[in-house]
Amino acid sequence: MASAVGASNSSCSDSKSNLAIGSYKSNPVAVPADESIPAVGSCNDIDTNRAPCSGGSRRSQPGNEVDPEDLEAWWERISIASSNRFEKELVIGRGTYGVVFKVKDKMNDNNYVALKYARNHSETFFGVTSSTIREVSLLKNLKHNNIVKLKDEYVDEYGTTLVLEYLETSLRKFIEVRYAKKSSGLFPPSELLISESLLKSFMYQIMSGLAYMHSKGVMHRDLKPDNVLLNRRGELKICDFGFSRKLEPGRRIYTQNVATLPYRAPEVILSDGRYSVEVDLWSCGCIMAELARGKIIFLQTLFPGKLVKDQSAIATLFQMCKWIGPPEDDFLQDMTEPDPRPLLPRGRCRKLKEFEGPNFQNAKDFLFNGLLVYNPAKRLTAAGALNHPFLKREDFGVFK
């Protein structure tokens, strides 16, 4: 029998948020008729917390890695617990926190699902990791077309297995495949990595899921292409809620160093943990720029810093300045860290050539004046982003 996990965790409780509660339900957005999702194979369908560059959000828990013998024992246990419900296909993800399998679900017409297995850890509450408790608690309460569905869960003394909706690939792999085609000269280097209509469709879907989450008082805190899943119909779903959390009324300070470093908002870098849902909008801006340029996180993202072991958050801030200029004074005066301006570059910032020209005015305004804005108070909200001229629904092409 499936068991519920960690609903008592206080950080994930369903207490009322200080955000207005609303309903943001969207129909799935179909891929425009002139563009299709390329086949990408069996790749990283569910993010399993691959180690980010130094300073990333994932904190390793020694002894939590899963070895082959553990996997064999786990498969025997899950087969017994589920009455041989699943037929194992292949591993589609592996990381510090566990392993993800693509399996057939015999209870649901042999449709594919993803099994995400995480070992328990002796130093945590009843052995279940805090990230697993948060993920299960939140996914049980977040129901939206653009958020991955939790179908079931199995818990025993050794670990936790989540039964998740299966999608063919991740936005990370999609970008990698498209960039490989662009680098081989299949289309001009000055063009966007994807069509403008598909870029709008992708961003609209991410914002729809995010607006719903924020209306429920939940911030994701680790948005990146790895944590956005994609199917062959062009539908996107946000996944990996291990570092998400509910906002608490009256609380202003949260865990520092959340979000993988190249997607980390400047207020997280420069403050003592004073941030809110706006950090997700900054991450969305990084994803949008990456979709346009094709530079992936471990090679060269929009704000890569120096991808070395001693990479610092200030190095990432340095890269931000090179692209969008230095932070404004009204933003820096609210930060608690020492003034970083003496360390930061001055002069003209670089431009994204992919957004040059009169046809991209709305896209540039959406990205640089709405999302990649240092001061979180001046950033678009997710609900506000859905009403921006760049995301007009009639510009997307075919809808379902």
> What is the pairing mode between strands 218-219 and 245-246?
antiparallel
Among the listed residues 222, 226, 240, 280, the single catalytic one is 222
Q: What is the pLDDT of residue 50?
A: 36
**Domains of the chain as residue ranges with CATH:** 42-165 (3.30.200.20), 170-395 (1.10.510.10)
> What is the pairing mode between strands 111-119 and 86-95?
unpaired
What span, in angstroms and rounded, lies between the C-alpha atoms of 286 and 288? Answer: 5
Q: Which pLDDT tens digit goes with each residue over 163-179? A: 999 999 999 999 888 88
**pLDDT tens track, the chain, 400 positions:** 444 333 333 333 333 333 333 333 444 444 444 455 544 433 333 333 333 332 333 433 444 456 677 788 889 999 999 999 999 999 988 866 678 999 999 999 999 999 999 887 655 455 677 788 888 999 999 999 999 999 999 988 888 999 999 999 999 999 888 888 777 766 665 567 788 888 999 999 999 999 999 999 999 999 999 999 999 899 999 999 988 888 887 667 677 777 777 888 888 888 777 888 999 999 999 999 889 888 744 334 445 444 444 456 777 777 787 778 878 777 777 666 666 666 666 666 666 666 666 567 888 899 999 999 999 999 999 999 999 999 987 666 543 3
Write out the DSSP string of 185-216: TSS-TTS-SS-HHHHHHHHHHHHHHHHHHHHT
Q: What is the pLDDT of residue 213?
A: 96
**Residue 222 catalytic?**
yes
